[in-house]
Amino acid sequence: MRMTAFLLLLILPFCVMFAQQGSQTGKPPVDPDTKLFKYQEVVNQDGTKDILFERGMAWMRVFYVNPNSVANVMDKANGKIEGIGRLRVYYFDKDSTKLDGGIVTYALRLEFKENKFRYTLNDFNLKTISRYPIERWMNPKDPDYTPRCDSYLYQVDTVMQRLVRMLKEEMKPKTQKKDEW
């Protein structure tokens, strides 16, 4: 038992160091036509267009701290929510201090029809003075490329995967418990 604990304590710092050096392999999916990052899927879900729209709005209130700052189109009649989302990326310096790597913006589009909805997440950019598509982080020959870029891409992919997972879960009908006492 002591030997196992000792080995874990010995190995753990190397695992942390390895993880911080950008060993992550998660990369956002690339659209074959545009060659840009794009998350998109049509999901079959029971419900009318209006009910699915309301569930989409409920998800916005759960996922975003301030959904009104994200959504700039909330069109129930046409079954559409559009907006610009933001996420912060980080890196660790040589002293393992967590530092700000910048803000990535992305376009969010939710579309609702009878018994289905579609989400689209695309147009990923690092917030700078001018437009900086994060697809540049995939190119090691780019002058701005650093090994941190792999970690940034992993962070973006992780947040987008979580966003999609939570969206699909929130779009399911809620079961109501009967209060039988």
CA-CA distance, 99 to 97, in Å (whole number)?
6
- Residue 20 inside a domain? The answer is no
pLDDT tens for 20-60 read 333 345 789 999 999 999 999 999 999 999 999 999 999 99
- Residue 180 inside a domain? The answer is no
The backbone torsions φ and ψ at residue 90, rounded to the nearest 5 degrees and listed phi first, read: -130, 165
- Residue 116 inside a domain? The answer is yes
CA-CA distance, 102 to 89, in Å (whole number)?
6
Q: What percent of the chain has a predicted confidence (pLDDT) above 70?
A: 86
DSSP for residue 26: -
CA-CA distance, 55 to 52, in Å (whole number)?
5
Structural domain boundaries, residue 71: 29-170
- Residue 95 inside a domain? The answer is yes
Query: Residues 53, 58, 64, 70: what is their CA dihedral angle, to the nearest 10 degrees?
Result: 30
Task: Identify the pLDDT of residue 91.
Answer: 93
14 pLDDT higher than 90 = no
Spacing of C-alpha 109 from chain mean position: 13
- Residue 22 inside a domain? The answer is no
pLDDT tens for 95-111 read 999 999 999 999 999 99
Measured CA distances, 3 to 6, 10, 79, 181 (Å): 5, 10, 60, 54
**Which range (10-14, 33-37, 138-142, 149-153) has the least confidence?**
10-14
- Residue 71 inside a domain? The answer is yes
- Residue 61 inside a domain? The answer is yes
Spacing of C-alpha 27 from chain mean position: 11
Report pTM: 0.81
How many structural domains are present in the chain?
Answer: 1
Task: Identify the pLDDT of residue 50.
Answer: 97
- Residue 11 inside a domain? The answer is no
Q: Does residue 153 contact residue 137 with C-beta atoms inside 8 Å?
A: yes
Task: Identify the pLDDT of residue 25.
Answer: 52
Q: What is the mean pLDDT of the chain?
A: 87
Q: Which two tokens mark 2? A: 């002591």
CA-CA distance, 6 to 162, in Å (whole number)?
35
Q: Give me the CATH number covering residue 100.
A: 3.30.530.80
pLDDT band at 112 (very low <50, low <70, confident <90, very high): very high
Task: Identify the pLDDT of residue 175.
Answer: 79
